[in-house]
Every structure is written in C-alpha cells, then in structure tokens.
Amino acid sequence: MNDDFITPLLAWFSQEAADLPWRNTRDPYRIWLSEIMLQQTQVSTVIPYYERFLETYPTVHDLAAASQDELLKQWEGLGYYSRARNLHTAAKQIVSEYNGQLPTNADELQHLKGIGRYTAGAIASIAFGEAVPVLDGNVIRVFTRLFDIADDVRQQNTQKHLWQIAEELIKAVPEGRAGDYNQALMELGRTICKPQNPLCERCPIAEHCFALKNNVQNERPIKTKKPPTPHYDVTCGLIWNEDGQLLITKRRDDALLGGLWEFPGGKIEEGETLEACLARELREELGIKVEVGTLYMRVKHAYTHFKITLHAFNCHLMANSPPPSCHDCQAFQWVSVSELSDYAFSRADRYIIEDLQNRQYRLL
C-alpha cells in the first residue's frame, strides 16, 4: 500500500484547513456534536446550528437534562431527527454510565447510541489522538480515485476492502497526527476531490492519484444506480375549533420524524380520494369525525428515500364527533396560529405554518 501521499496531504491541511468553529478545540463533547450534525448535512448549514446549540447546551450535562421537546425545537430544520434523539439518549448514557465524560477510545464510543464506526473514529482520533481510521463518503471518493478502485462502493465487499485500506494507512501516519490526517482526507473530499468536476489541478496529492493517471477520475467512485425515488400523496387536516385554535399531534418516537409535532393525517391508500383518506386517518389516529372542507395548500417535499405531496385541508369537528384521543400518536394539543412557533415541526409542516402566520399577520 503506497502511503507516500500522507506527508503532502498533512502539509496541505496545515496550510489550507478551513477555519471551522469545531476545529480549534479538543473538547470531545464539541467534536462529537459537530460530527453528528455533519452527517448528511453541509458544513455551511451546520455552523449556525452548532453555535446556537452550544449556547443552549454548553455541556453534556446540560444536554442530558434537556427535554426532548426542547431539543427537537433546537434541531428544527436540520433534518434527520433521529440524530437529535440519539444524541439526547447518548448524553444521558454519558452522564449516568461514564461520569459525564465521553469514552476516550473508538471501541468504547461505539457503545453510545447513534455512534457507529465512522463517528467513533472521528471523535477518538480528533479529540484523543487515537490512531483509528474514518471512512465516510468523502474519504471513499478520495480512496477510490487515489488507488483507482473500480469496484461498486455500494457493495459490502468493497466497503470491507476500503476499511482495510484505511486501517493500513493510519499505521503510517506520524504519531499524534491521526486526527489531522482524518480531517485532511475529509476536507480534501469536500473541497477538492468533489463528486463532479474534481479540482485535480489544485490537489496536493494529484501526483499520487492513479485514477488521474488513468484519466478515469470522473468515473470514480463506481456506484450502482439507486431505484427511482417513490412518491406518495399525503393528507393533513387543519382542524379548527370555535376559538380559532388548531389541533396538532405529536408523532410516536418510533415513527419517522418521531417526537415532532404535525398536522394530523396520513398517506392515501389505493382507490381513495384525498378527502376520504384524511377522514379515515383522523378517525384512526384520534378517534374523531371531521367535516373535510376546502384545500388550504399543497406542499411538495423530498426526504432521503421518498418524496411527498402534502395536501392540507381546512377541517372542523362534526357535532357528533367524540373528543380527540391518542390512538396513534403521543399527544395532542389545541394551539393558536402564533403558538405554532413554539413547537418543533418537520419542514413540510413548517411551510404551512409560515403561510398561516403570514396570512394572520396581514389580517391584523
């Protein structure tokens, strides 16, 4: 395994490393938080969330003591909400099982909720200097180009091979520089060795890159095509009471977007009209009978593995409807339009809230 690229890579990182708020610290709590937030999320998006989060929860004890509702509201808009729930659970583990201190090695870190091999390696190498590798999408792209690996990176055997490469290379990293090396690989993939149009002319390790020598850098990494993203029509009810309040429900923790609040409703079944779907979903979720009124708005939104069109209808409880009760939710609440801002919602519902509040403001 040719490791000649390590020295120029580290030299480049020493000169060109981006000035990021989690870079000038060895505080394992801050490094852990940054690594969780950076999963599936761009650096520019993470920075303001990271800074606000630390203002609210400056220590792991503060995070462990937070309520889930508070935490999800703080996380609102960052997406992938299971990260926030896992972060909360892990903080409680750290306080109760580790005396408020993060474990200092990668193996032990993986005992914490939401920390897998990659995240454990990042925290252990950056915060504690442990010589353990990382392998994320950026590093995979660098390795497949650097060594011209022509295997499908979505295959388990290829992933195993890439981890073996990473484990061998970390042994050649100068003592005490494992964290810098891992960050350098990730930064190179993010800023230079990009998915499309890599900036090979600016790459500090271009002379060591076999894909570049073979003029196949734009063909690496090889990935099998994902199946087409499914689309679903989903309904939700803006259920008004006589006081001008709206009924909102809290999703179960084990559901998609668990712990977030929403306008109740659900996915259309084959052969259903939108109105029939909404009436059925509200009956199943809350045990209520509603009069489905006019369509308020439609929202298109993409999640990681599927897309939805959310159809929001104005609704009222029928005179003979039982009061709401949680059949398939954690809780429900009647709130004013202005109070909706106090609750954590998904992005799709947030579009509806913004429109409701803008209309209310115009009526004042």
Per-residue pLDDT tens over the stretch 85-138:
999 999 999 999 999 999 999 999 999 999 999 999 999 999 999 999 999 999
Please identify which residue in the block is written with the tokens 């309520």.
67
pLDDT value of residue 192: 98
Question: Exactly one of 16, 35, 55, 201 is catalytic; which is it?
Answer: 35
Percent of the chain topping pLDDT 70? 98
pLDDT value of residue 265: 97
pLDDT value of residue 2: 82
pLDDT value of residue 254: 85
State the average pLDDT over residues 200-217.
97
State the average pLDDT over residues 3-21.
96
- Portions of the chain given CATH number 3.90.79.10: 231-363
Give the Å distances, CA to CA, from 50 to 37, 74, 135, 347.
8, 10, 23, 19
Mean pLDDT check: name the lowest of 150-159, 197-206, 253-262.
Answer: 253-262
Q: Which residue pairs, CB below 8 angstroms and at least 24 apart, start in 24-31?
A: 26/126, 26/127, 27/127, 28/101, 28/102, 28/104, 28/123, 28/127, 28/128, 29/59, 29/60, 29/102, 30/54, 31/122, 31/123, 31/126, 31/127
Mark whether 35 is an active-site residue: yes
Is the predicted pLDDT of residue 295 greater than 50, yes or no?
A: yes
State the average pLDDT over residues 342-350.
95
Pick the CATH number of 231-363 from 3.30.379.10, 3.30.70.20, 3.40.50.1820, 3.90.79.10: 3.90.79.10
Mean pLDDT check: name the lowest of 3-12, 106-115, 218-227.
Answer: 218-227
Q: pLDDT (tens digit, 9 = 90+) per residue, 306-334?
A: 999 999 999 999 999 999 999 889 999 99
Residues 136 and 208 sit within 8 Å (Cβ to Cβ) = no
- Portions of the chain given CATH number 1.10.340.30: 6-219
Is the predicted pLDDT of residue 344 greater than 80, yes or no?
A: yes
* Res. 299 pLDDT band, cuts 50 70 90: very high
Q: pLDDT (tens digit, 9 = 90+) per residue, 240-271?
A: 999 999 999 999 988 888 899 999 999 999 99
Is the predicted pLDDT of residue 77 greater than 60, yes or no?
A: yes
Work out whether strand 231-240 and strand 307-317 pair parallel, antiparallel, or are unpaired: parallel
Is the predicted pLDDT of residue 1 greater than 90, yes or no?
A: no
pLDDT value of residue 364: 41
State the average pLDDT over residues 176-197.
97
pLDDT value of residue 236: 98
Can you name the CATH fold of 6-219?
Endonuclease III; domain 1 (1.10.340)
Percent of the chain topping pLDDT 90? 92
Q: pLDDT (tens digit, 9 = 90+) per residue, 266-287?
A: 999 999 999 999 999 999 999 9
* Res. 361 pLDDT band, cuts 50 70 90: low
Report residue 225 as tokens. Answer: 């095509």
Whether residue 227 is preceded by a cis peptide bond, meaning omega within 30 degrees of 0, is no
Alpha carbon distance 127, 141 (integer Å) = 24
State the average pLDDT over residues 74-95.
95
State the average pLDDT over residues 338-360.
93
